Amino acid sequence: LSEKLDKALHVLKGHGSITEVNVAETLKEVRRALLDADVNFKIAKNFTNTVKEKALGQNVLTTLQPGQLMVKIVKDELTQLMGGDVEGINMSGTPTIILMSGLQGSGKTTFSGKLANFLKNKKTKKPLLVACDVYRPAAVDQLHVVGDQIKVDVYSDKGNTDPVAIAQAGIAHAKQNGHNVVIIDTAGRLAVDEAMMTEISNIHKAIQPQETLFVVDSMTGQDAVNTAKAFNDVLNFDGVILTKLDGDTRGGAAISIKSVVNKPIKFIGTGEKMEAIDVFYPSRMADRILGMGDVVSLVERAQEQFDEAEARKLQKKIAKNQFGFDDFLKQIQQIKKMGNMKDLIGMIPGAGKMMKDIDIDDDAFKGIEAIIHSMTIKERTNPSIIDASRKKRIGKGSGTSVQEVNQLLKQFNQMSKMMKMMQGGKGKAMMNAMKN
Ligand code: GDP
Ligand code: MG
If you measure from the C-alpha of residue 82 to the centroid of ligand 2, how many angstroms do you get, rounded to a whole number?
27
| Cα(236)–Cα(253) distance, integer angstroms | 19
Question: Mean per-residue pLDDT for 211-225?
Answer: 88
Q: Is the peptide bond before 66 cis (omega within 30 degrees of 0)?
A: no
Report residues whose beta carbon is within 6 angstroms of any ligand 1 atom.
102, 104-110, 188, 243-244, 246-247, 269-272, 276
User: Which strands sit side by side in the sheet containing 277-279, from one edge to the other?
Assistant: 153-155, 127-132, 181-186, 96-101, 211-217, 239-243, 265-269, 277-279
**Ligand 1 site-directed mutation target among 110, 190, 243, most atoms within 8 Å of CB:** 110
Mean pLDDT of the chain: 80
More confident residue, 397 or 334: 397
Which tens digits make up the pLDDT trace of 232-262?
999 999 999 999 988 766 667 777 888 889 9
If you measure from the C-alpha of residue 99 to the centroid of ligand 1, how many angstroms do you get, rounded to a whole number?
17
Confidence at residue 41, expressed as pLDDT on a 0 to 100 scale: 81
Residues whose CB falls within 8 Å of the CB of residue 193, separated by 6 or more in sequence, listed in order: none
| Backbone dihedral angles phi then psi of residue 161, each to the nearest 5 degrees | -110, 5
Q: Is the pLDDT of residue 75 over 70?
A: yes
Q: Is the pLDDT of residue 211 over 80?
A: yes
Domains and CATH numbers, the chain: 2-81 (1.20.120.140), 96-290 (3.40.50.300), 295-435 (1.10.260.30)
| Cα(8)–Cα(29) distance, integer angstroms | 5
- Please say whether the beta carbons of 34 and 255 come within 8 A: yes
| Cα(124)–Cα(215) distance, integer angstroms | 25
Query: Which ligand number lies closest to the CA of residue 246?
Result: 1
Which tens digits make up the pLDDT trace of 276-333?
998 998 888 877 766 544 444 444 444 444 455 666 677 777 777 787 888 888 777 7
| Cα(261)–Cα(255) distance, integer angstroms | 10
| Cα(149)–Cα(143) distance, integer angstroms | 10
Tell me whether strands 127-132 and 211-217 are parallel, antiparallel or unpaired. unpaired
Q: Is the pLDDT of residue 63 over 50?
A: no
**Ligand 1 site-directed mutation target among 272, 275, 278, 280, most atoms within 8 Å of CB:** 272
Residue numbering of the annotated binding site for GTP: 102-109, 185-189, 243-246
| Cα(227)–Cα(261) distance, integer angstroms | 10
Q: Is the pLDDT of residue 340 over 80?
A: no
- Looking at residue 105, the DSSP 8-state letter turns out to be T
Confidence at residue 141, expressed as pLDDT on a 0 to 100 scale: 95
**pLDDT winner (highest mean) among 90-94, 183-187, 273-277:** 183-187
Which has the minimum average pLDDT: 143-152, 342-351, 399-408? 342-351
- Please say whether the beta carbons of 268 and 118 come within 8 A: no
| Cα(166)–Cα(178) distance, integer angstroms | 18
Give the predicted TM-score (pTM) of the model: 0.65
For residue 214, how many C-alpha atoms fall within 13 Å in the half-sphere facing its CB?
29
Question: Mean per-residue pLDDT for 151-179?
Answer: 96
Measure the CA dihedral 214/217/220/221, to 10°. Answer: 70
Confidence at residue 144, expressed as pLDDT on a 0 to 100 scale: 97
Confidence at residue 231, expressed as pLDDT on a 0 to 100 scale: 96
Which tens digits make up the pLDDT trace of 23-43?
676 677 677 767 776 777 888
Per-residue pLDDT band for 214 (boundaries 50, 70, 90) equals very high
Question: Mean per-residue pLDDT for 139-163?
Answer: 96
Burial 58-78 (b: 16+ CB within 10 A, else e): beeeeebbbbbbbbbbbbbbb
The ipTM value here is 0.99
Q: Is the pLDDT of residue 172 over 80?
A: yes
More confident residue, 228 or 286: 228
Confidence at residue 249, expressed as pLDDT on a 0 to 100 scale: 65
If you measure from the C-alpha of residue 269 to the centroid of ligand 1, how many angstroms do you get, rounded to a whole number?
9
Q: Is the pLDDT of residue 21 over 70?
A: no
Residues with CB under 5 A from ligand 2 (ion): 108-109, 139
